[in-house]
Amino acid sequence: MSTAETARPATLTLDNSYLRLPEGFYAKVAPTPVAEPKLIRINRPLAAELGLDADALASPEGVEMLAGNRVPDGAEPLALAYAGHQFGNFVPSLGDGRAVLLGELIDRTGRRRDVQLKGAGLTPFSRAGDGRASIGPVMREYLVSEGMAGLGIETTRALAMVATGQPVYRQQVEPGAVLTRIAASHVRVGTFEYFYRRGDHDSVRALADYVIERHYPEIADQDNPYAALLTEVVTRTADLVADWLGVGFIHGVMNTDNVSIAGETMDYGPCAFMDSYHPATVYSSIDVQGRYAYNQQPRVAHWNLAQFAQSLLPLLAADEDEAMEVARAALDHYAPRFEETYHALLRRKLGLATEGEGDVDLAMDLLKRMAEQRADFTLTFRRLADLQRDDTGNDETVRTLFEDPSAFDAWAEKWRERLVAEDSDDDTRRTAMRATNPAYIPRNHRVEQAISAAMREDDFTPMERLLEVLASPFEDHPEHADLAKPPKPEEVVQRTFCGT
């Protein structure tokens, strides 16, 4: 089959509002059909949320659509144009080099959601790439994005994975796959940069108007809706990065082309969750300078937002100096918003229901000791929930996570004093802490084990086990208790890699 055919699965009818923007915003391109599409997985809960028939998506006709061999009714496929700062260096033309936006659907809550095929073949933006994706990065994005959704963190979602039956050539030959990604939007900071850096201010305005109408309609009637747009994106980004820190997540490539204006985590490449806590942790194989290390993410997010603000300058005010002042005022919201969100999260992680003057210092002291003693980030907070205010008998469950358990003892004494001052009830606190501190995250070694089993043995059982606990990560799953454990020394994953 040389061209994509048109089909009409009854469960999927799409629109594409992005096509109402000028042609320079995108390139019309159909997915490239694949040889032998085979369904790996349908995300049935997400399908239900979207108002889709999962059984129809899993049918031969549905799989053809999810592979890119058939285009659903109403779809007008396109690849989006954008630029971006990559590791601080501006690249004027990037764009969707291996992804095709089929269109948008309206979910059960009335939200408009993008439907994109990732790994769908060559586009005009592919440059030297092959437009394809291998099964490893597709599985990583599926697992980690669904893990983030289970944790309650804003994220793109994975609707389906389909094997292509064709090889993909990276460091080695790997099986090919296509991911169906669902997003609130695929507009990025880099989309605005693409036009601003070309001096095309009319397109910047058209894009801003589109984003406001679609994502922030409540600000459309404000005196300066573009300043309000900047403030909204600043606020959502500050909240998002604080949430990342709260679960030990490291994005890995916080380039401006990976920053969503809708406040979602997007583009899961060499991302990872920390095991042993250290603020300077880096996993990405391409982040050799540690620009996007765990503790650098708040600073980099602010830097990225400054690039967004610069792109909006022609819209913020007619006078350049006045526009700069408006931009600075919006950006000044970032630090206090981030601190407010992050500090409130830290208090919840410690089981503190009220705000005390020394709470942040108490949390930072624990983190410092965890870093020095190589304590597991997730398990330390999870097990802390089960300790008693007036009884140290159960402390061993946390103490053993520290190389020198006495380091925890010294901190725990101060923590208990704070609980007494709050007159905290153990049962209430425990329930609240367990709802904040997950038992399960997509641990790197488990993700790699799932990918390895799929690639080498065509065995997706490890993936299914992991997805089961990631769907409800705050609950105990005794039958999958091993998935909560940190890696053994020989299982530790030191580096993660970009899918391209």
Set 96, 114, 243, 257: catalytic member: 257
Pairs from 424-432 (Cβ < 8 Å, separation ≥ 24): 424/351, 424/352, 424/353, 424/389, 426/388, 426/389, 428/353, 429/351, 429/353, 429/385, 429/389, 430/351, 430/385, 430/386, 432/348, 432/351, 432/353
Q: Give the distance from CA 326 to its chain's centroid.
A: 29
For residue 243, indicate whether it is catalytic: no
**Catalytic residue list:** 257
